[in-house]
Amino acid sequence: MKFFFAWVCYSVLAFLFCISANAQRINQYSVETGTLFSSSQTPFWLRANQYGIIPLKNPALRLNAKVYSDYKVADSIGHKAIVDWGYGLNVVTNIGATNQVVIPEMYVKGRLGAFEIYAGRRRELIGLVDTLLTSGSYIWSGNSLPFPKIQVSLPAFTSVPFTSGIVSIMGTFSHGWFENANRLVKGSYLHQSSFYGRLGKPSWRVKLYGGANHQVMWAGHSDYLDPTVAANGQLPSGIKYFPAVVLGTQNPFPGDQTIQTISRFEENRIGNHLGSIDLAVEVNSTHWNLFAYRQFVYDDGSLFYGTNLDDGLNGLRIRNNHQPGRPAFFLRQITVEYLFTGSQGGDVFILEDPQRRGRDDYFNNAQYLDGWTYFGRTVGTPFLTPQQEVNPSLPPHYGIANNRVSAFHVGLSALVCNKVDIMSRLSLSRNAGTYAVPYLRVPSQFSGLITASLPISLLGGTVLTGSLAVDSGGLLPNSVGGYISLRKTGVLNRKRPTVNSTDKYF
């Protein structure tokens, strides 16, 4: 599969290069260097939702370099090329307590009309949620290193024909790979799909949103699986199982001699299925834009039977539509969220009784022992905590050690003196561990961050950024830390793109 993935990347790049040979690419870059420090483990909001590039143990020095080319912008009359392509490469080097080179982005992408295909690693966030100040979308928050994937998508809300823009849709369909290093189950795949709709034209003051996403961990093998979970440690891995993975159906090949199916799992469905169902409303006025959203959780059958409706992410984003002007303090945006995952359908699991099929154990699975993680980081909301991050004095649990959480979160973005960008994240949570391994004292945890960014004239224009973060409570080790950096961005080729007379537009 890895050779197939490399071949697809090469083929996509070669094809896009050929069809865009006459196009002038605008190559942009970003270079950041900084130092990260803390009194103990890296504080929560210095590392959470940073795509896995910030280690738990501080480096003394960080270098973050990125080069990328997006699609060509529309011309003066709003036309865009039907066929276009782009790429991105991001390399992060951490030196100090943890020496590592991380590549959070390396991809090529192509566009055909409203559709897009990409291959590689790319920063993404999935779900109806505020993307700037959120605590993290429940299922896919940007907390872990991006997966290597091949994805076909409708990446932006696109009007459905004959609806005059009143009904718009977007969606994704992708295949990815989990890592093998330090993972108990090796050779696992990721299936991912999503579909979202919008009711209302972009110009309307009120718009309604809704949709769902579907994530599946499937395939693989392990020497550590109990025989009642997988015979000889082997899980269904052939492509013939893929339709059942996508549709979430039972094993269509119960007589397959290469693997002994287990009624508790394959006779229910193949793989570990999880995701969220999202609803949102947006209200746009002259002065403010309000975006309210709710993400319902599914990780078993509890949502279908309505027994875990208390669980989910609730959020409200309020964005200022005014121009900053020159006030001493200008509030750009505030986001308030509440996450609750304490129900999980109840504390009793009885397969034959749909109303008592609880103990969903979010982000954990009896077959996929490492849980909903990638290189040790939670793929979804960072409030559901893996064992390596929690205070070592708490009872141990392999995989996700803390998934029964009640968390309040506030994010704020502002401009001070028309020059300094201020961003703050403040979170307070209560944490009960899991039903299997509970935290009897239910430790509270406060995590806070404040960041200030100031443009300066050094090197023809850079941004100086300073961050201060703190963790205080019983879930994480108490810690105070900070980050200071300089970032330079620019364009590698400033030549204005030319339009070939044979280019096609829509």
Q: Specify the DSSP class assigned to residue 154.
A: E
If one counts every other C-beta atom within 10 angstroms of the C-beta of residue 6, the result is 12
Phi, psi of 353 (to 5 degrees): -115, 100
* Residues 379 and 362: beta-carbon distance below 8 Å: no
Nearest to 423 by CA among 145, 122, 46, 17: 46
Tens-place pLDDT, residues 439-493: 999 999 999 999 999 999 888 889 999 999 999 999 999 999 999 999 999 998 7
Contacts of 501 (CB under 8 A, 6+ apart): none
Token digits of residue 233: 């440690």
DSSP string for residues in 268-297: T-SSEEEEEEEEEEEEE-SSEEEEEEEEEE
Contacts of 167 (CB under 8 A, 6+ apart): 159, 160, 197, 198, 199
Tens-place pLDDT, residues 406-416: 999 999 999 99
Higher per-residue pLDDT: 79 or 504: 79
**Confidence band for 353, pLDDT divided at 50, 70 and 90:** low
If one counts every other C-beta atom within 10 angstroms of the C-beta of residue 246, the result is 16
Tens-place pLDDT, residues 380-420: 999 999 999 999 999 999 999 999 999 999 999 999 998 99
* Residues 503 and 81: beta-carbon distance below 8 Å: yes
The predicted structure's pLDDT at residue 97: 82
* Residues 168 and 159: beta-carbon distance below 8 Å: yes
Give the whole-angstrom CA distance, residue 337 versus residue 334.
Answer: 10
Q: Specify the DSSP class assigned to residue 16.
A: H
Q: By mean pLDDT, which of 20-29, 180-189, 217-226, 306-315 is the weakest?
A: 20-29
* Residues 506 and 115: beta-carbon distance below 8 Å: no
> Exposed, middle or buried by CB within 10 Å (0-12, 13-18, 19+), for 184?
middle
Predicted model pTM: 0.89
Tens-place pLDDT, residues 43-92: 999 999 999 999 998 878 999 999 999 988 766 555 677 899 999 999 99
* Residues 377 and 52: beta-carbon distance below 8 Å: yes
DSSP string for residues in 23-71: S----EEEEEEEEEEESSSPPHHHHTTSTT-S-SSPEEEEEEEEEEE-P
Tens-place pLDDT, residues 151-166: 999 999 999 999 999 9
Separation in Å, CA 82 to CA 20, 72, 474, 477: 11, 10, 54, 52
**Confidence band for 229, pLDDT divided at 50, 70 and 90:** confident
Give the whole-angstrom CA distance, residue 87 versus residue 174.
Answer: 18
